[in-house]
Structure 1
Amino acid sequence: MGITVRALSHLVLRQPRPRMDEILKIIAAKGLINDATPSAEIFDLDYFQSRLDSLQAAFPEPFIVNAAALKANSFRGILNRVKAQGFGAECASISETMHAISLGFSPEAVIFDSPCKTKLDLKTALDAGVYINLDNEHEMAIVDELLKDGCSGSKAKLGLRINPVVGGGTIAIISTATKQSKFGLPLIPTTKERILDLYEKYSWLSGIHIHVGSQGVPLELFVKGARVCMDLVKEIESKCKRQLEIIDIGGGLSSTYEEAEEPKSFEYGRYRDNLNQVVPELFSGQYKVITEFGRSLFLKAGFSVTRVDFIKDWVPEIKPIVLTHVGTNQFIRETYLPEVWRHRYLLADPEGNLKSPDQSGSQVYDLAGPMCFQGDYLAKDVELPKIDMGDWLIIQDTGAYTMAMYSRFNSILPSPVYGFTKKNGQMTILQQIAQNDLINDEVSCLDVIDFETVKKRILDYDEAFPEEFISNAYCVKVNPFVGVLNHVLSMGMGAECGSWQEVFLALKTGFKPEDIFYYSPVRTKSEFKQALESGVNINLDNWQDLAHVDEQADLNGIPKSYIGLRINPIIGFGTIVSTSTATKASKFGIPITEDICHIYQKYSWLNSIHLHVGSQGIPVINMVEATRKLMDLVMKIEAQTGKKLLAINIGGGLSSSYDTDQEPPEMSFATYRKALEKSVPELLSGDRKIITEFGRCLILKAGFSLTRIEAIKSWFPDINPILLTHFGANQFPWEVYMPGVYRHRFSLAKPNGQLQFGDQEIYDIAGPLCFQGDYLAREIALPKANPGDWLIVRDTGAYTKSMFGRFHSTRSGPVYAVTKSSTNHEVIVLTCIKSPENSEEVIKFWETPEIEGLRAGFVAAGQK
């Protein structure tokens, strides 16, 4: 087909961990893939737990709140694990915030981050008492107003997201620390004073937040961003004569979609070591520190299985098209941006046995989803073992940013999500899915979150950031399911919330208000009021935020929570523009070039500072540079204001890897920690509370999504066979629209849960949405696929299910958590933490409410 060996080198099938094979057998044995549920999302709770453990080990200090990013994976069953680990919840919307609250995350461990918060969002967050990372001047003005009017008693802490402008990673759309970033306030020489002025103006700003990006962002950018943040903190504290309380360094550590293991270069321990070297002040205990990892926690704990129901192979020069039950509905990024987001694929037979090209030969397929548009392909040119109808296409590394992105397009029912833990002598997760008939006609796809993986990632984080003054706020937006939030919460993390809804979710989950960090670049006065009243911590974004909070402060007194200002350190792009938030063009925070000290001088209630330079694709060096800038700013603020900031929020943003099973060392928490220690040693001095907001890197690899391949289209010999699945832009919007940025690893399993190996074919994997771009991935090498096979999308624990969309009115599938038995750690337990939606639930979304005076939702012009 004219495809060079070099072009396919990254698609060569890598045998998954033995865990995958076990899980597939369980899926088959339990009959989880069936006509009712032809796709399933599988989450290895044991692997997820290991990720939580790893993160927590890297950042173990009591002053650190690891806030798992709910947007990566929001299933309650998974988030319960996050909460149980003592993690916080990083929330990208007010809904995620309230989701975290509903899970029991303490408000102070819920971080509300969103670049676009309404007044109501901010009021809700203030009322909930979560930590709010404000994004811009407007939000600050709103918060200031709210604090003066109705939210004066709020316990919420507020920070400001700063774009440290340390540069982008390899994926522009998730590199948030570039001049073009929409996140936070860019911190560059020409904006630093304005940012300082904002901290001076809004004294209730007690935190600072950065998030330089996530996937594709090198570790050094995260560390650089933290350094920039810490430098800014110093300047803020110098100018404002007060100490910030919270430093939210965000999350964003990359995972890999190409390798089975997490990249060594992004290990949490390495991140921590780098932070120790570059930003040692971060761990001084002086600040509450928040991290917001998501993808790196969730991604590799999850894989997706979808049954191949049909293979179209009519045109000799066109690759067979594999029709599956997942596409743009669940793999939006993979479909729209296949060059960026591309998973590894495996093929299994309906019994859960992985297929090998050695057994049946291989072929290149296009993997299509169920959506009614031609672009709905999980992937194209995917080499897989010969696919038979009924086989399972396995999409690897789907624990993050797959089901989290589920779209309603076509009103397709989402896959069930299964969590698995190991049972001694029992079947694999995939076999259990098969035996329990979890993939069937009603449920064509599901997601799985491995809580053990999340635990390991959190422990990695704790190991890198062990100090008590560092708080790790789980980025709720990464994966906001209550099960996940509970898990993060149980591991001692806080919650970083990007919306008031995320704050509310975190509070409902059980996060204490003081462990919730609420930031969004756009919030309403009402949301600020609610956030302040709730006692959560708040990071402000803009002058309007400052005004809102100041107003509430005048009305109801100085907030007792961390109120920070997000600073944009203006450190540049990572590799993904859309997740690079520290650029001049960033929508987040106040540029560091502004008179931040004046802000802190003016607003005496500002007691923390915040930056977040981006996430996936942001190099650690950018994160550290941003933190250095932030720390310098903090010193300046403190010198000029005469008050010490209580906390520095350096955001999250460590990239995760979609290419490997393990996070690379350069994406580790340890690497980030060492970089911070080297460049921003003051950050780790213990003088202030330090906050990070990791999401993706905590949970990404803990998840995988499973969808049934409904059909395979292989009509033209010069076109890859198209696997039609149930994952696409509905759950994987980034993967669909930015395939060059977000690309998962995929596996293939038979409907019995057996992973498939052997000779491979190149497939395009299409999703179910009705547009041609709905492809999870293209040019994916898999064992030959057959309709009915399960496609497993790896590393979907973050930013997949949490992004689930209503496009097509697709039903959200179940989410299953994988955990270890409390009595026998060799025993895998598969627990449904989110039931599959039914048609009635989907229809309810579109219902016209019965409102007096309205008829059929229509009001004539001029009618009241």
Structure 2
Amino acid sequence: MSRWIERTRLDDASTVLRRALAEGFFREGTSAALFHDLGRVRARFVELETRFPAGTLHAVAVKANPVVEILRALVNAGAGLEAASFEEVRLAIAAGCPASRIVFDSPAKTRDEIASALALGVHLNVDNFDELDRVASALGNTRPPPIGLRVNPQVGGGSIALTSVATRSSKFGIPIERRDEILAAFEAHPFLSALHVHVGSQGMPLETLVEGVARVHSLREDIERRVGAGRIQTFDLGGGLPVAYRPDDVPIPLSAYVDALKTKIPGLFTGDLGLVTEFGRAIHATAGWAASRVEYVKQAGDERLAVIHLGADLLVRRAYRPDEWYHEIAVLDADGRPKAGPTEPVTIVGPLCFSGDVLAKGLALPCIDPGDFVVIHDIGAYTLGMWSRHCSRGLPLVLGYDGDTLSVLKNRETPDDVVTFWSR
């Protein structure tokens, strides 16, 4: 199986958790930890390099997982980083990413952020015409870094409305229906040298992902007819591919995506155009999993509840939109070994003080006891980066592993750390 689509097996999680217990990572008040398979992340980056033309900039989305040491592992492998805020630009720099491999995509860039990004020399994707005027004013007569225009291909939404960003009225980019204005913008601003597109990943079928790229790529010929051949030097395909969170989901292999692009848009791969990708979820999601001790097991009406230390603080989307976001859940015993025996229904609840802090209801699992570990699969993307401060719970320990090597990627927050966070 391609490492692009493989998921962590419970037996493998058990092996890593037992190593973490033996090495003392769950001492001194640590009740939960996130685990990230760095070897798998690097293997996925290698596959990106293999499938796309040499020289393609693979700028992994910081928002998917902003832990600096995870970003650093990608940068050391040759990746770039995509920043959706100027704070993420700073995270990319902290991870050692050269400015030439940073792509800045925020839809709300301030004048100061634009000036700072231009001074750093990061690749800048402009979201709207007003921002384009700000960039032109900030540039003056200086030689610009690569600057692109984000175009909304208006291919419609996928099965998850909240993560679909190419509907007709999306807040992102310039609608492609304003084609004449886009052409005029390239005519008026010679520093524009790139096009950028992104339609979303989760819930998007392969055909829609490819069609979005094709529609924006069609602008390339129109622009170059207007302002001259060779004007578009870079094409940013944006992010990613959906992840198979459910065991019966059918993932889209990277090879299928690239083959579909080559068939639909052969001009992308002729070698005269620099390419940029912005994968995030597909790189990280199934490389991460979490383990939390069960603190209490109690009966409430007809339900048996297992109270753990991770809930809606980590899995915001799962708690608030359970029909759209799924995470497979399993149980290991107090020593980190898979539990056997007959299953019974149990509801997994988190530690926060509101009734919606529920991760699964009536889940069939082997009998759970206090001290056991609940394992939550596929939490490597859009979880810790969306951490909720409700009830002021501290961020959990983050561990990375690569083969037999286990290391701390981010220390857990102590109560004192949380006090510092909320203090002046």
TM-score range, shorter chain: over 0.9
Is the CA contact 1:306–1:324 (under 8 Å) kept in the aligned structure 2?
Answer: yes
Could you say which residue in structure 2 is the equivalent of 1:159? Answer: 148
Q: Tell me the distance in 1 between the aligned counterparts of 2:224 and 2:254.
A: 29
Q: Tell me the distance in 1 between the aligned counterparts of 2:333 and 2:245.
A: 23
Could you say which residue in structure 2 is the equivalent of 1:307? Answer: 293
SS at match of 1:108: helix
2:169 corresponds to which letter in structure 1? Q
Match of 2:167 among 178, 181, 194: 178
1:29 partnered with 2:16: no
Summarize deviations over 1:287-323 as a string: whole Å, max 9, x none: 21100001111111100111110122132x2x22221
User: Can you give the 5+ residue segments of structure 1 that lack an aligned partner in the other structure?
Assistant: 1-13, 423-827, 849-864
Q: Tell me the distance in 2 between the aligned counterparts of 1:186 and 1:95.
A: 27
Q: Tell me the distance in 2 between the aligned counterparts of 1:182 and 1:385.
A: 46
1:20 is displaced (CA, Å) by 2.4
SS at match of 1:407: coil
1:213 is displaced (CA, Å) by 0.5
Q: Tell me the distance in 1 between the aligned counterparts of 2:47 and 2:14.
A: 23
Is the CA contact 2:14–2:332 (under 8 Å) kept in the aligned structure 1?
Answer: no
Q: Tell me the distance in 2 between the aligned counterparts of 1:138 and 1:351.
A: 58
1:245 partnered with 2:233: yes
Q: Tell me the distance in 2 between the aligned counterparts of 1:392 and 1:153.
A: 57
Distance 1:46 1:15, change over 3 A: closer
1:378 partnered with 2:370: no
User: Can you give the 5+ residue segments of structure 2 that lack an aligned partner in the other structure?
Assistant: 1-6
1:35 is displaced (CA, Å) by 5.8
1:363 partnered with 2:363: no
Q: Which has the higher contact order (CA 8 A, sep 6+)?
A: 1
Distance 1:21 1:841, change over 3 A: closer
Summarize deviations over 1:707-747 as a string: whole Å, max 9, x none: xxxxxxxxxxxxxxxxxxxxxxxxxxxxxxxxxxxxxxxxx
Could you say which residue in structure 1 is the equivalent of 2:309? Answer: 325
Q: Tell me the distance in 1 between the aligned counterparts of 2:30 and 2:164.
A: 36
Could you say which residue in structure 2 is the equivalent of 1:48? Answer: 41
Distance 1:351 1:16, change over 3 A: same
Q: Tell me the distance in 2 between the aligned counterparts of 1:205 and 1:840.
A: 48
1:245 corresponds to which letter in structure 2? Q
Summarize deviations over 1:122-157 as a string: whole Å, max 9, x none: 222112111111111221122122113xxx536422
Could you say which residue in structure 2 is the equivalent of 1:473? Answer: none
Is the CA contact 1:115–1:135 (under 8 Å) kept in the aligned structure 2?
Answer: yes
1:287 partnered with 2:256: no
Match of 2:394 among 402, 406, 413: 413
1:254 partnered with 2:247: no
SS at match of 2:367: strand
Could you say which residue in structure 1 is the equivalent of 2:257? Answer: 271
Summarize deviations over 1:87-133 as a string: whole Å, max 9, x none: 11011111111111222211121111122222222222112111111
Listed as ranges, the matches of 1:186-585 within 5 Å are 186-188=175-177, 191-241=178-228, 243-259=231-247, 263-264=250-251, 266-315=252-301, 317=302, 319-356=303-340, 359=341, 361-422=342-403
Q: Tell me the distance in 1 between the aligned counterparts of 2:94 and 2:111.
A: 21
Could you say which residue in structure 2 is the equivalent of 1:834? Answer: 410
Q: Tell me the distance in 1 between the aligned counterparts of 2:200 and 2:170.
A: 10
1:93 partnered with 2:85: yes
Could you say which residue in structure 1 is the equivalent of 2:13? Answer: 20
1:161 is displaced (CA, Å) by 1.0
Q: Tell me the distance in 2 between the aligned counterparts of 1:224 and 1:411.
A: 43
1:215 is displaced (CA, Å) by 0.9
Is the CA contact 2:53–2:269 (under 8 Å) kept in the aligned structure 1?
Answer: no
Q: Tell me the distance in 2 between the aligned counterparts of 1:830 and 1:409.
A: 30
Summarize deviations over 1:544-599 as a string: whole Å, max 9, x none: xxxxxxxxxxxxxxxxxxxxxxxxxxxxxxxxxxxxxxxxxxxxxxxxxxxxxxxx
Is the CA contact 2:83–2:106 (under 8 Å) kept in the aligned structure 1?
Answer: yes
1:68 partnered with 2:60: yes
TM-score normalised by structure 2 residue count:
0.93
Q: Tell me the distance in 1 between the aligned counterparts of 2:70 and 2:161.
A: 29
Distance 1:325 1:34, change over 3 A: farther
1:143 partnered with 2:135: yes
Q: Tell me the distance in 2 between the aligned counterparts of 1:137 and 1:385.
A: 57
2:383 corresponds to which letter in structure 1? T
| Count of aligned residue pairs for this structure pair | 417
Q: Tell me the distance in 2 between the aligned counterparts of 1:182 and 1:379.
A: 33
Could you say which residue in structure 1 is the equivalent of 2:101? Answer: 109
2:329 corresponds to which letter in structure 1? Y
2:330 corresponds to which letter in structure 1? L
1:214 is displaced (CA, Å) by 0.9
Q: Tell me the distance in 2 between the aligned counterparts of 1:222 and 1:252.
A: 8
SS at match of 1:833: strand
SS at match of 1:307: strand
Distance 1:286 1:420, change over 3 A: same
Could you say which residue in structure 2 is the equivalent of 1:77? Answer: 69
Identical amino acids, percent of aligned pairs: 36
Summarize deviations over 1:428-478 as a string: whole Å, max 9, x none: xxxxxxxxxxxxxxxxxxxxxxxxxxxxxxxxxxxxxxxxxxxxxxxxxxx
1:410 corresponds to which letter in structure 2? C
Is the CA contact 1:125–1:156 (under 8 Å) kept in the aligned structure 2?
Answer: no
Listed as ranges, the matches of 1:610-689 within 5 Å are none
1:15 is displaced (CA, Å) by 9.0
Is the CA contact 1:28–1:350 (under 8 Å) kept in the aligned structure 2?
Answer: no
Q: Tell me the distance in 1 between the aligned counterparts of 2:119 and 2:421.
A: 26
Structure with greater proportional helix content = 2
Q: Tell me the distance in 1 between the aligned counterparts of 2:18 and 2:366.
A: 18
Q: Tell me the distance in 2 between the aligned counterparts of 1:298 and 1:333.
A: 17
TM-score normalised by structure 1 residue count:
0.47
Structure with greater proportional strand content = 1
2:288 corresponds to which letter in structure 1? G
1:18 is displaced (CA, Å) by 4.2
Q: Tell me the distance in 2 between the aligned counterparts of 1:381 and 1:58.
A: 42
Distance 1:236 1:29, change over 3 A: same
SS at match of 1:365: strand
Summarize deviations over 1:345-401 as a string: whole Å, max 9, x none: 110012110123xx2x22222221112222122232322221101111110001111
Is the CA contact 1:126–1:154 (under 8 Å) kept in the aligned structure 2?
Answer: no
Is the CA contact 1:166–1:177 (under 8 Å) kept in the aligned structure 2?
Answer: yes
Q: Tell me the distance in 2 between the aligned counterparts of 1:203 and 1:126.
A: 16
1:847 is displaced (CA, Å) by 2.9
Query: What RMSD in Å do the two structures reach over aligned CA positions?
Result: 1.9
Q: Tell me the distance in 1 between the aligned counterparts of 2:360 and 2:227.
A: 53
Q: Tell me the distance in 2 between the aligned counterparts of 1:311 and 1:138.
A: 56
Could you say which residue in structure 1 is the equivalent of 2:3? Answer: none
Q: Tell me the distance in 2 between the aligned counterparts of 1:335 and 1:119.
A: 37
1:251 corresponds to which letter in structure 2? G
Could you say which residue in structure 2 is the equivalent of 1:628? Answer: none
SS at match of 1:54: helix
